[in-house]
Amino acid sequence: MPRTSPATLPGSALRRGLLVILALVMVAPVYAQDRSIVTRKDLPNVYRDARFKKQYDKLLRTTQMRMTPLPPEHIASPADTVGPWIARQAYNYVPPQEEVKFTAKISSWQLIKRIERHKYKRQFESVKWAYLGNNYFTPLDTVKTRKIRARMQSRFGAPTRTLVELDYSRSLRREEYIQFEYWFIVNDSIPMIVMDVNGPFEHGIVVACDHRYRNILYNMRQSFLGRMMHEEELAPYVDYYYNYVSRRWYRTGFDGQQFFTDPIGQPNLARGRPQLARPGG
């Protein structure tokens, strides 16, 4: 068998090496095409997407997968003018009322008595009420509601509406089962309601007025009811209260000596408000 000349070995090895490189060059585009072909033109987009993903992952790790949404931005559209025009064509359209900038002090108040309630019912039912939020806690909010009720009984007399006067011809919502409501007309024009929070089991009271006067509601409550914090005179009273959660009825009040909240069966509301038992009765 003839032997290959040593002089021919480097040339053969070089040729074999070139063939391997050529094969790799030919196969590489096919392999890349199977995955993704990135051209010089696409390279900025690939870099941008990779950078965005990295920043996004970092943001999620930093914020514990929670991101605060931005407030909505209003985009002007024809509906800005067409919408209000369409609304004004409705037969029951009520023009929006602007908030009244009222800074005068409370000069007068009128309690709406129970027998006067129907006279003012339409006025009070049409009001859009504004309430004080939880950022306005005062010492009045720390007093038990039953004690405030006794103080109001002493100062104003019986409330305008109680559980007895509710409209039971329809299904009542949970928040409608009140213990008492006092209706007032302040300064001859401002409707205001004072009501219990959750019957005799809570502290404080709820004060609401026409939303146009919300800017003075806190001052109204303080000047009108804040002084009761310095009055200790309590008057006897008795109310019915219904706990919607436990489905239980109570007879609650103050007998002149002590407060009481007694569970009872469902009372006959057609007989009217409950009465305190007379001494020795």
Query: Mean pLDDT over residues 164-168, rounded?
Result: 88
- Please tell me the pTM assigned to this model: 0.62
256 to each of 71, 161, 216, 218, how far by Cα in Å?
55, 22, 35, 31
pLDDT at residue 97 in the model:
56
Residue among 209, 239, 236, 241 nearest 152 (CA): 236
Residues 6+ apart with CB under 8 A from 272: 164
Beta-bridge partner residues of 162: 180
Query: Where are the domains positioned within the chain?
Result: 109-233
What are the tens digits of pLDDT across the range 204-246?
888 888 888 888 888 888 877 777 767 778 999 999 999 988 9
Q: Which of 87-96, 156-165, 180-189 has the lowest mean pLDDT?
A: 87-96
pLDDT at residue 55 in the model:
74
pLDDT at residue 107 in the model:
77
What is the distance between the terminal CA atoms of the chain, rounded to a whole angstrom? 140
User: Which comes out higher in pLDDT, residue 60 or 7?
Assistant: 60
Q: How far apart are CA 101 and CA 230, in angstroms?
A: 30
pLDDT surpasses 70 at 250? yes
Element spanning 111, H or E: strand 109-112
**What is the per-residue DSSP string for 10-50?**
HHHHHHHHHHHHHHHHHHHHHHHHHH----TTTHHHHHHHH
What are the tens digits of pLDDT across the range 50-82?
777 777 777 777 766 666 677 777 777 766 667
- 118-151 burial, b at 16+ Cβ within 10 Å, e below that, comes to eebeeebeebeebebeeeeeeebeebebbbbbbb
What percentage of the chain has pLDDT greater than the value 90? Answer: 30
pLDDT at residue 197 in the model:
85
Report the residue count for the chain: 281
What are the tens digits of pLDDT across the range 86-145?
777 776 666 655 555 555 567 788 899 999 988 898 888 888 888 876 566 777 788 899
Residue carrying structure tokens 């009481």: 260
What percentage of the chain has pLDDT greater than the value 70? Answer: 69
Query: Mean pLDDT over residues 22-34, rounded?
Result: 47
Q: Which of 63-67, 154-158, 192-196 has the lowest mean pLDDT?
A: 63-67
pLDDT band at 6 (very low <50, low <70, confident <90, very high): very low
pLDDT surpasses 50 at 281? no
pLDDT band at 45 (very low <50, low <70, confident <90, very high): confident
Mean per-residue pLDDT of the chain? 77
pLDDT at residue 17 in the model:
54
